[in-house]
Amino acid sequence: MRFISPTLLWLFVAVPLLVALYLLMLRRRKPAAVRVASIDVIREALGGAQRIRRHLPPLLLLIALATMLVAVARPTAFITLPSEQRTIVLAIDVSLSMRATDVEPSRIAAAQEAAKAFINEQPGDVRIGIVSFAGTALLVQAPTQNREDLINAIDRLDLQRHTAIGSGLIMALATIFPDAGIDLESMIFGAATRDTGRGVAIEQAGKSQTKTVAPVPPGSYPSAAIILLSDGRRTTGPDPMEAAKMAADRGVRVFTVGLGSAQGGMAGFEGFSMYMRFDEEALKAIAEVTRGAYFSAASAAELKNVYQELNTRFMLEKKETEVSALFTAIAALLAVVAATLSVLWSPRLA
């Protein structure tokens, strides 16, 4: 438990002071009258419970006061609550490396089946969008609650050359924030490539006109999230970490799923076989900067388990929540009980 206003806990000094005051009042009461020994023994046997219970209302009132002082300090606790995330964008890698067969029957086939199972398990009020990315990124299905449209969009995915993870992230962000002024033309479609001899580099065709935003704490946007599935090996497009920083500045968490074995796998294309390396470090970094989480799936069964865990996270989520109201209610209940017992047991009002 954490307190939002811990300095107010100094008010607890009032508790021992009240206890001392109560004891002082008891000692100042007039001494009891001298009683006959035989009658005194009978009263001792019959009146012990009464003497104990007369202290119960003050004790309950003291506990109520202490509970109220805890509420004043505004305590918080991690509570599992229904998730507020009602828009999820699946960004799926459709580059040729997804043909690799280190995940049976292939990376892309396993990804499609797991994604469809995930879609079917989501609550009906959750809107899901689908972005595919290879050399560029496309919104293949705008966020919708129609599960049939989503399944059909998954089945229509086609593999293409290159891998632009950054483009996939930017397109997913533009899907979540359609009015944010994200300049897709220059950031994704306006990027030109050149061969450096060691790979593909990007020459931005134009300066981005994306509106500047006031950064918010990473992971603080509660209404949407991105699930990015890839083998993690970028060959072109915007820098994935710059795209991840855009998501972090908007508070959107990115959950990355690395699909493939650590040693990589072979993929066939137009009669040739290519070795596809699996690079999970990039995906780990994206998840970390956005306060998301990284998951590794080296088989179709593991991928299904990953999506089941993600499904649980999106339906139920642990959140740090202020619980002052709970302590206030307990304090009020204790005070009412103390007052009721005091009225019922007071000999002056009998």
Q: How far apart are CA 301 and CA 308, in angstroms?
A: 11
Is 325 a residue whose pLDDT tops 80? Answer: yes
For 297, the token pair is 């799936």
Beta carbons within 10 angstroms of residue 100's beta carbon: 24
Say what the pLDDT of residue 192 is. Answer: 43
Whose tokens are 């632009």? That residue is 164
End-to-end Cα, the chain, rounded Å: 44
What is the residue type of 244?
A: A
> What integer is the mean pLDDT of 122-134?
89
Q: Which CATH number fits domain 84-298: 3.40.50.970, 3.40.50.2000, 3.40.50.410, 3.40.50.300?
A: 3.40.50.410
Q: pLDDT tens across 235-262, in order?
A: 888 899 999 999 999 999 999 998 876 6
Is 288 a residue whose pLDDT tops 90? Answer: yes
314 vs 95 pLDDT, higher one: 95
Say what the pLDDT of residue 241 is. Answer: 92
Q: Is the pTM of this model over 0.85?
A: no
User: What are the residue boundaries of the structural domains of the chain, listed by start?
Assistant: 2-78+322-345, 84-298
Contact between 173 and 187 under an 8 Å Cβ cutoff? The reply is no
Say what the pLDDT of residue 294 is. Answer: 92
Candidate ranges 80-94, 131-145, 298-312; pick with highest mean pLDDT: 131-145
Say what the pLDDT of residue 348 is. Answer: 55
> What integer is the mean pLDDT of 192-215?
45
Q: pLDDT tens across 165-180, in order?
A: 999 999 999 999 988 7
